[in-house]
Structure 1
Amino acid sequence: MNDLDQKILTMLIDDGRLSFADIARDLGISRVHARDRVQRLIADGIIEKFTVIVNPEKIGNTVSAFFDVEVDPQGIELVAEDLARQPEVRSLYIMSDMMSLHIHTLTEDNKALEDFARRNLLSRRHVVKVNCKMLLTRVKNRRGGTRI
């Protein structure tokens, strides 16, 4: 990946709907060259997919919480797979110690968050410890922009 590819990625991260013509115009290259570079980024697996970022508050999911969950190592994959299927779970990671999960959830309110935790964590076999922190203010998100 070179400097041109990085510039294209930065542009697409900011607006995944940019046309090849828009990319070409901003970078001073031909539309065909821009298309070829984007297609190569896709073929090489650098771009995995194009998606939409939804403002959760606009659809009624106002409680954003992060769980750090300690799990018996023999049950970590089973617990992770089951949690990944839950609609409240927006992202889930198995951490390097192979006994911790880091989970981001979105729920409509505190009661729904508590229900999720009771149903999926507090009474689950293999779960040893649960730590939950709720988001107060989003300063920077995955798209890279500040939001204050």
Structure 2
Amino acid sequence: MDDLDRKLISALRHDARASLSDLAILLGVSRTTVRGRIERLRERGDIVGFTVVLKEDAHRDAVRGLMMIGIEGRGADRVTRQLSGLPAVRAIHSTNGRWDIIVELGTATLEELDDVLGRIRKFEGVSTSETNLLLATRKAG
């Protein structure tokens, strides 16, 4: 799997219903390339299906957390793209101050959250992080 495949998967995770044309524009390649890549990823078993995530399902994460991330150099765009491809990422916020990005995470278990945190910490450009678990929500938007 190359960088284009990873970018395509990230885009599909963000919107699995995106048209081939929209994906091609986003990735800077032709529709034919996008269609071929999707077919190849499905044939190899990298993509096993597509699904629908309902709003109510997204808010039922048993474990939720905020991860504040410090990024070295100019890697914020790359790190944000990588974060967008992770199923546990619910939102990505740019910010000012000590942290460059704040990420909302949601998983079914603490072990899953720990796995996601470990993966994010290994992203090239991530220099430091701090994570806080969300215990209760008093008011949701």
Normalised-by-shorter TM-score class: 0.5 to 0.7
Q: Provide the secondary structure at the position in 2 that maps to 1:115.
A: helix
Structure 1 residue 120: deviation in Å? 2.0
Of structures 1 and 2, the larger Rg is shown by: 1
| 73-82 vs 109-118, which moves further | 73-82
Aligned position for 2:15: none
Per-residue CA distance 1:20-60 (angstroms, 9 max, x = gap) = xxxxxxxxxxxxxxxxxxxxxxxxxxxxxxxx6315575xx
Aligned position for 1:102: 102
Structure 2 residue runs without a partner (length 5+): 1-53
Aligned position for 1:13: none
Matches of 1:72 and 1:97, distance apart in 2: 14
Question: 5 Å matches for 1:34-53?
Answer: 53=55
Bigger relative CO (Cα 8 Å, ≥ 6 apart): 2
Aligned position for 1:139: 138
Structure 1 residue runs without a partner (length 5+): 1-51, 143-148
Change (3 A) 1:119 1:140: same
Aligned position for 1:145: none
Q: Provide the secondary structure at the position in 2 that maps to 1:81.
A: helix
Aligned position for 1:40: none
Quick one: which of 54, 63, 66 aligns to 2:56? 54
Q: Identity over aligned residues, as a percent? A: 17
Q: Contact 2:70 / 2:98 at 8 angstroms: preserved in 1?
A: no
Give the number of equivalent residue pairs: 89
Q: Using structure 1 for the length normalisation, give the TM-score.
A: 0.54
Change (3 A) 1:71 1:96: same
Q: Contact 1:67 / 1:103 at 8 angstroms: preserved in 2?
A: yes
Matches of 2:102 and 2:133, distance apart in 1: 13
RMSD: 2.3
Structure 1's consecutive aligned runs of 4 or more residues displaced over 2 angstroms after TM superposition are 55-58, 96-99
Pairing 1:124–2:123 present: yes
Matches of 2:59 and 2:91, distance apart in 1: 17
Q: Contact 1:72 / 1:99 at 8 angstroms: preserved in 2?
A: no
